[in-house]
Structure 1
Amino acid sequence: MTIAPISVPEEWDDNGIILFEEFCAFVRIPQRTVRCWRIEGRGPTWQRFNGNGRLYITVRELRRFLRGGQ
């Protein structure tokens, strides 16, 4: 069995949006864990639609997060 690191497809635009639930599924980490990271100030930098809507990150932020190994 080989383990391959998670990588973002090259064709994804850096300005694309990834919702919270999509991020958790993509990196295969439970939502509860990612919520704890947010409280602790760890993980990717999240934004909200209109300042109070759903959480999202950009593809650029996802790539930064994966490169940093956080």
Structure 2
Amino acid sequence: MQPIEVPTQWEDSALLTFEQFCTLIHTPQRTVRDWRRRGVGPRWSRFNGTGRLYTTVAETRRWLGIPRS
């Protein structure tokens, strides 16, 4: 099994969509939706009244336990 890596060149303040996050961690969207419903996983935000969910690269690193280099 490959460890999940967040590219070091990604800025902590950059946003990831829900879909990008699922792809990054190689996890089906259905599983991540279930985690979100149960309060597991990174913190998510919605902006400008859109239905899209976003998380930051910093939050992704925090949740995965990846120290910022």
- Within the alignment, does 1:15 sit opposite 2:13 as a pair? yes
Give the helix-richer structure, 1 or 2.
1
2:53 corresponds to which residue? 55
Aligned-pair CA distance for 1:25? 0.7
Give the strand-richer structure, 1 or 2.
1
Counterpart AA for 2:61? R
Count of aligned residue pairs for this structure pair:
66
TM-score by length of 1: 0.85
* Identity percentage of aligned residues: 55
Aligned-pair CA distance for 1:49? 1.4
Moved beyond 3 Å, runs of 4+: none
TM-score by length of 2: 0.86
